[in-house]
Structure 1
């Protein structure tokens, strides 16, 4: 039974949104593993994120291993999120699926569990055109009218460029309140197409650029790095708020540069094809190295990686752990 809640709007999407993994128990890297969710670590992560000051949580995307979980594991994870958060901050699950009917079924379940929203990409298999991608979100919103939607705008995963005509049409859907985007490069173009009705959320290291480009609209960002330690991401939110009033962006520039350098190993120093091939391993690997949480092993088939990728994960985890120590002490 879903808890009573008001449908979120774009105005409710503010500040630092942490993206968290789906913690795995030891042995989860075996195909024969069952019940792989580390429930206690999931609870601990949610509470620690809230204590650290994040404004919201996104989950069950790529690094959340949405494609490697059984439905029973996904359902248990979402229930654990809701119970741990207890309404203190908004929590989005993830209900991306191969087809519309399955995405609707999972979104209905997420609503009944009590999540505030879902991060979901277009139905996966064939490359969608604009009409198919738009229709997917229209059907999802019609089927689950009381659930907020975050468009998972990852062009690599979904084989779709998310062009302005797409944003112009999905902006007509009240449930579509925000979008997780990879870059702020097309921010002004897409915000104009959406007529300001959708909150576009860039990653933490690009947030400063987005704010300077669109000061009024850019008030939220996502951070998978927060799962290596949330202090830098929370500090970024607060430093940007201070800079908006003072006009002094030097501290924001320093932190943004530090963040950019810390994630360089994770994006394979600019080799994005390599990054996309090993995204899950890179992200969960650096989280385990950083030590702020225990992401656990990767679930099949994302559990294999060459030594180079493991080294990149190690470097990235160590770099962010140093940032966490620096900004937590402040």
Structure 2
């Protein structure tokens, strides 16, 4: 599935580990099946939520091939590329394509704060090395590198650079992108707490985090907004907001894995140096999750 639209809800899924710190493909399968049953539109592997920086090359291969087999063409499987060098990023893109991925989400260079010129050259080198469609992850808050509209103008000379994961935290950037590029660049919101606003303003989709634990509610917000049923979407989104705020936190992986435990589609196991939440912070997060589970809204027919 190489020809697909960058739209809809695309979970940035967590990577499941056993108590012995091996890949837990059984629980991973349970979660992916829950996502598919809820009607998500794609699966994104190996992002921040997927603890990509702690995965080795063989584990990434296993995850891509397992997910491709599991989804069986129902939705695209997108692999995240987050490397320290252009050479390694190109290798990672080639591996993802060979393993059956349908697309790539590409971060700017890790660790080195590249200039605008270097950033564009990095993305273009990756795009030139693969035929897979690419979504650029624009998150200057966390990665200190902003992909500006002028940079996108240059990047769009590559036909396979097609989308942006918009995480600037500036909701008007959705409008700026749409005004500048119309339908040449698909926009997927990358910030859970701005997702409904972004969709209302014309974003094509949502790269979501709390969807890992609450897939039905996440898909419902998207589908209701796209159907123009804003009031119904708002009721779910308002209930969702305390949970969504768990995504904009340095411990987002631990937070969301705790939520997955509460909804029965994950475990709390994280990979060192991460550790499960402790003490007052753990109790605070658990109270938010417990209240959310207790008051889960009824999903209307869409």
TM-score (norm 1): 0.82
Change (3 A) 1:100 1:319: farther
Deviation of residue 304 (structure 1)? 5.9
Q: Distance in 1 between matches of 2:265 and 2:113?
A: 35
- Does residue 259 in structure 1 map to residue 259 in structure 2? no
Aligned-partner SS, 1:140 = helix
1:211 to 184, 199, 214: 199
Query: Which residue of structure 1 lines up, in the alignment, with residue 259 of structure 2?
Result: 286
RMSD of aligned alpha carbons:
2.3
Change (3 A) 1:231 1:136: same
Query: Which residue of structure 2 lines up, in the alignment, with residue 310 of structure 1?
Result: 282
Q: Deviations over 1:185-233 (max 9, x none)?
A: 421223344453221111454333223333xxx2311221111121111
Q: Deviations over 1:279-312 (max 9, x none)?
A: 3222323323x23311441101122655343234
Deviation of residue 82 (structure 1)? 0.6
Q: Distance in 1 between matches of 2:51 and 2:273?
A: 10
Aligned-partner SS, 1:302 = coil
Count the aligned residue pairs: 298
Query: Which residue of structure 2 lines up, in the alignment, with residue 199 of structure 1?
Result: 186
Deviation of residue 23 (structure 1)? 0.8
Aligned-partner SS, 1:326 = coil
Q: 1:1-330 counterparts in 2 under 5 A?
A: 5-8=1-4, 12-28=5-21, 36-144=22-130, 146-182=131-167, 183=169, 184-202=171-189, 203-214=191-202, 218-243=203-228, 249-264=230-245, 266=246, 275-276=249-250, 278-288=251-261, 290-303=262-275, 305-322=277-294, 325-327=296-298
Deviation of residue 92 (structure 1)? 0.7
Aligned-partner SS, 1:123 = coil
Deviates more, 1:156-165 or 1:65-74: 156-165
CA contact (8 A) 2:221 2:236 kept: yes
TM-score (norm 2): 0.89
CA contact (8 A) 1:94 1:119 kept: yes
Aligned-partner SS, 2:206 = strand
What residue ranges of structure 1 are gaps of 5+ in the alignment? Answer: 29-35
